[in-house]
Every structure is written in C-alpha cells, then in structure tokens.
Amino acid sequence: MYGNELEEKHKSRANKLVLFSGVFFCSLRVVAEIVMGNYHTAVICGVVAAVVLTLFAFFSRKNFKRFPLIFSFCLYVSYIWASFAIGSFKYFYAYYLLVLLICAVYFNVKNYLILLITTQIVNIYLTVFELPPHINGNVWVHFSLIFCSGLMLSLVVQFAVRKSNEASSATDSFGALMRSTPNVLVLLDGDNKIRYISQSVSKIFGIKEPEELAGTDFLDLFNERSVRELFEDISKKRSFYEDYQKINVNGQIRTFNVFANKMTDDSMFFMLNDVSEITKLKELAEQDSLMDGLIQIPNRRSFDRQIVHEWNRALRERVNLSFLMIDIDFFKNYNDTYGHLQGDELLKVAGSIFKRNLKRSADFVARFGGEEFGVLLYGTNSYQASVIAERIRKSVEEEVIITTTGVKTKFTVSIGVCSMIPNGSEEHDCIIEAADKALYKAKQNGRNRIWISD
C-alpha cells in the first residue's frame, strides 16, 4: 500500500463517515417529527435529506476539488430553507455546529474560514430578524457561543491540517521511496506479515503484483530453509542485524546486504540490497590482484595467503608439506643477450612448464618476482617432492625457445626442496627459508640441479 492508496482510502473513509452522520442525523429528525405527529414536516425533511445526501454520494465519487466547501454551504442553506418551509428553527444552532464539525474532516484553514465568515453573516441576519421567536433565551448568547465555538474549531482545524500535511508529506515521501528505491524494503507486523513492500521486489524476485503481498508471510518469499530460519530468528528477537547473505532467487544465487531493525514493539523493518554485481566485480578485481599479469599464474601475494592455509591444514592433519624454490639460471644474461621481450617470453614458457608438471589440483605454483618461482605440495614427503622437482628440471632442460630472429635457445633452473611436518612451535616462514638455503646450495654446486634441505 503506497501514498496515493493511503490518501484515497482516507478520503473514502471520511466520505463514508460524513454520509453515515448525515443519514443518522436526518433519520432522527424525521423520526422525531413523526413521533410528534408533524407528518408534513417529516416528509419535507425526508425529501430534503434524500436529495442532499444523494448529491453528496454522487459528487464525492467525482473528486471535485471544491466539492466539500460547496456541499457544506449548500447543506447549511438547505437546512435554513427547510426551516423556513416548516416554520421552525428549533435545532438551527445544533445543526450549524454539526456542519462545522463535518467541515473539520475536509477543510484547510482558508476554506474553513471562508465557510465560517459567510455563514456567520447569514447567522447575524437570522439572529436579528428570524430566530428570536423560535429560540429560547437570548439569541445573541446562542450566536456568541456558536461563533466562539467556530473560532475554536478553526484553531483545531489549523492544528489538525498542519499535522495532516506533515503526515501526508511523510506518507508521500515513504510512498515515493517504496516506488523508486532499487532495494527491497519491507515493513512487517508482529506476526511477520507484510504491511508495506517496495515495488523493486517485482524486479528482483520476479513478482508481478507487489501490492498483493500485503498481509502475506514475509518468509514465503524465500525458498531456502536456512534463509527462512535466519530471518525468522531476527524477527522473533527484534534484534539489529546487518550482514551479507547469499539467497537463491529463481534459481540464481544472489548476494544481498541484509539490514534489519525493530521499528516499534510490533513492527520490524528489513532492507535487502542486491550487491551481486558489485560482489562479482570485487571478486574479479581481487583475483586480478592475486595473479601475475605477465605469466597468468598466482603472484607472491597469492602465495602468502595459500601457504598460511596449507601450513595450518598440514598442522591439523599431521601430514608433510613440501616447498620448491625455483630460480631460472643466468636469466640476466639471457635478457641482456636477447632483450627484455624475449626474456618475458622465457618467463611465460617457464610458468607453463611448471604448471604442466603439477598433476594434482591441490599443487600450487606462484611467481615470487623476477625469475624466482615457488611450488607448494600438500601431503608430499621429501622423496615425492624431489621426484617432482627433478621432473620439472628435466622438462625445462629439454625445452627449446625460438627467438623472433629464429635463434634456438635453451635455459635451465635450479631448485631448492624442503619438506616437513608442521608443528605448533614453528611458523610457515621456516619452510621458505630452508628451501631458499637449499636453492643457494644448488647454485653453488653448478646450477641446473635440485638440492634437498636437511
């Protein structure tokens, strides 16, 4: 239910209230005349009432802007005419006060004062020339009381209109928000029934008529049991909640930033912000930041994350973790001889060979920087690691790279190997240091070889 619907519903209720009041008052007047035996008067009152109330019922449906002002004035004049017709002004001031009260339902201050001033001018005429024979007591006392009552009502109307305008403005703003926001906004009652829901639910959840959701269970929007249980728990506790939540929407997994908080003791507010695209872009950006742009294998930053994970896993499961530190022999000389572009090509070939020789999905290779690479082998002992290292070394040794000028070139690598079962007294840096020392030994002993750390 939105701003315009609320306004129309308010108008409809006000019209029904005024119509009921008019029917009730006129019926009592007709019945009173019949009881007193004034059948002619009863007929006149009944006809006038029927005409006036029929006109009201007809024109209230047309939503004429000035209709309430015109109708109220015509109601006032019709009663004066009826009073002249039956020669009785007995209920004049009571009826006039009823008209003013009815006007308070509809009027702003300007229209109310127009009606008050216009009718009071007529009342002065009636007070001087017509009412004294029909009103008990001093007519001017009656007039003064009604006039003061009218002014008091004007103050009440002014206050009520101001508050009504504030409420209408808030309602309009709320309605505009519910129509235009890209987020799913939901206001629930104490039984998790939907009071209001934004129209964006039609786009995000594929619901054609969001208005039909009013009064239904909020949890019915979700298919996953875990999501339903989470939102039900939040609603029961009436607690503040904000977190990211993956939700299955029409077969697609979307990521939502979910915000929930208590509005009142019997209402709860939920906001679901679809951040799926942002999350995907963030994940892609993070993946790019973890990849070496030249060789398209993980970089040192990615390796630092991976080794912490693998070290802790090996520590829990008490298995071997092996690490190979690989260095391309005489890479600087190769660069100086064939140029940096050819050096980049050599790095790409080297990365491809390393990946090709790692058979398991858990094996992890990364570029440390420059011509240095690292390989993590989970659940691999020293002997198995040395076999893999030797396989890599031979594959590199047999590789031939043809330069842009047609020259056939070859290169070799030196590899330091370290394998250990992690324990709680050591950090993961120790396996890198040990493999680095083994690499240094391999270089000292002629390069193009592997060296296993003690």
For residue 204, the model assigns a pLDDT of 80
Q: Which CATH number fits domain 290-452: 3.30.470.10, 3.30.70.270, 3.30.470.20, 3.40.630.30?
A: 3.30.70.270
Please give the residue that has the higher pLDDT: either 417 or 288.
417
For residue 409, the model assigns a pLDDT of 94
Q: What percent of the chain has pLDDT over 90?
A: 28
For residue 101, the model assigns a pLDDT of 67
CA-closest candidate to residue 309, choices 376, 356, 369, 253: 376
> Confidence class of residue 2 from pLDDT cuts 50, 70 and 90?
very low
For residue 89, the model assigns a pLDDT of 66
3-class secondary structure per residue, 170-182: HHHHHHHHHHHCC
For residue 1, the model assigns a pLDDT of 44
For residue 143, the model assigns a pLDDT of 64
Beta carbons of 310 and 303 less than 8 angstroms apart = no
The distance of Cα 114 from the centroid of its chain, to the nearest Å, equals 46
Please give the residue that has the higher pLDDT: either 414 or 177.
414
Chain segment 9-22, per-residue pLDDT in tens: 556 666 676 677 66
- Judge whether residue 3 has pLDDT over 80: no
For residue 149, the model assigns a pLDDT of 64
Task: Return the residue matching tokens 């002004």.
Answer: 89
pTM: 0.47
C-alpha to C-alpha distance for 303 and 193, rounded to whole angstroms:
50
For residue 105, the model assigns a pLDDT of 61
Ranges of each domain in the chain: 3-177, 181-277, 290-452
Please give the residue that has the higher pLDDT: either 299 or 28.
299
β-bridge pairing 413-420 and 450-452: parallel
- Judge whether residue 396 has pLDDT over 50: yes
Looking at the chain, the number of H-run helices and the number of E-run strands are 14, 12
For residue 65, the model assigns a pLDDT of 59
Please give the residue that has the higher pLDDT: either 383 or 97.
383
For 153-167, 177-191, 293-307, 315-329, which range has the lowest pLDDT when averaged over its residues? 153-167
Going by C-beta distance under 8 Å and a sequence separation of 6 or more, which residues neighbour residue 426?
none
Beta carbons of 398 and 329 less than 8 angstroms apart = no
Q: Please name the fold of domain 181-277.
A: Beta-Lactamase (3.30.450)
CA-closest candidate to residue 391, choices 435, 357, 359, 348: 357
For 53-67, 118-132, 196-210, which range has the lowest pLDDT when averaged over its residues? 53-67
